[in-house]
Amino acid sequence: MQRTPAIESSISSMNSPAMCRSSTTRPVSCCAERTDRAMLFLTTNTNGEQVRSSYEELPELVAAVEALGERDGWSGELTFRVSLVIDELAQNVVDYSHEGRPGDVEVEVTTQEEDIVIEIIDDGIPFDPLTEAPDPDLTSSIEDRPIGGLGVHFTKTLMDDVEYCRESGKNRLKIVARK
């Protein structure tokens, strides 16, 4: 997947339905049958020692998603959208979720017949990006805009369904992209 300099500069079951929030009117089933899945972790455990999730691990995460897309025959456009959203949201978790302490981030990508289902799970502070993330400034010039703030916007605009739940002390963001 090739990213232009312009794109690079822009990129900087579940509980009850009452506890879930979705950016669509159609609820997303959190118990969908899994036909194929790849689980990716941003933290590793070696000899019982936890390594903090970090930016250095993000390229490997994106490469694994791209390899899954290639293996499963996703279009280049779908692979780009899924990779961009995972990269942006994983960066947000690394930046904000754990408040400087080590923490886990799990990214699960499931290929189904008609959908790609992405689950991003972290054990950080409670945060519902669908209701708590501020809307980005899309009207000011790029030079006048603050850095960041586009990850959730990209997710809402590039994906087909997005749902958030806080379950068992973890943030769970479920994202669906139609093939």
C-alpha to C-alpha distance for 92 and 48, rounded to whole angstroms = 26
Q: What is the pLDDT of residue 54?
A: 66
Q: Which residues of 16-45 are buried (b: 16+ CB within 10 A; e: fewer)?
A: eeeebbbbeeeebebeeeeeeeeebebbee
Is residue 13 one of the residues assigned to a domain? no
Q: What is the pLDDT of residue 85?
A: 96
Q: What is the pLDDT of residue 4?
A: 41
The domain spanning residue 157 has which CATH number?
Answer: 3.30.565.10
Residue 6 has pLDDT above 50, yes or no: no
| Residue 104 near residue 122, CB atoms below 8 Å | yes
**Each residue of 66-111: pLDDT tens digit?**
988 998 899 999 999 999 999 999 888 888 888 877 777 888 888 8
What is the pLDDT confidence band of residue 31, given thresholds at 50, 70 and 90? very low
- pLDDT, greater one: 56 or 13: 56
Is residue 66 one of the residues assigned to a domain? yes
Give the mean model confidence (pLDDT) for residues 13-29. 34
- Number of folded domains that form the chain: 1
Is residue 145 one of the residues assigned to a domain? yes
Q: Note down the domain range covering 32.
A: 21-178
| Residue 81 near residue 7, CB atoms below 8 Å | no
C-alpha to C-alpha distance for 45 and 160, rounded to whole angstroms = 34
Q: What is the pLDDT of residue 53?
A: 59
Is residue 5 one of the residues assigned to a domain? no
Is residue 31 one of the residues assigned to a domain? yes
Q: Is the pTM of this model over 0.75?
A: no
Is residue 3 one of the residues assigned to a domain? no
Span between the terminal Cα atoms of the chain, in Å? 17
Can you tell me which residue has the tokens 């290929």? 111
Residue 13 has pLDDT above 60, yes or no: no
Is residue 105 one of the residues assigned to a domain? yes
**Each residue of 107-162: pLDDT tens digit?**
888 888 899 999 999 989 999 999 998 888 889 888 888 877 789 999 999 999 99
What is the pLDDT confidence band of residue 15, given thresholds at 50, 70 and 90? very low
Is residue 8 one of the residues assigned to a domain? no
C-alpha to C-alpha distance for 162 and 86, rounded to whole angstroms = 13
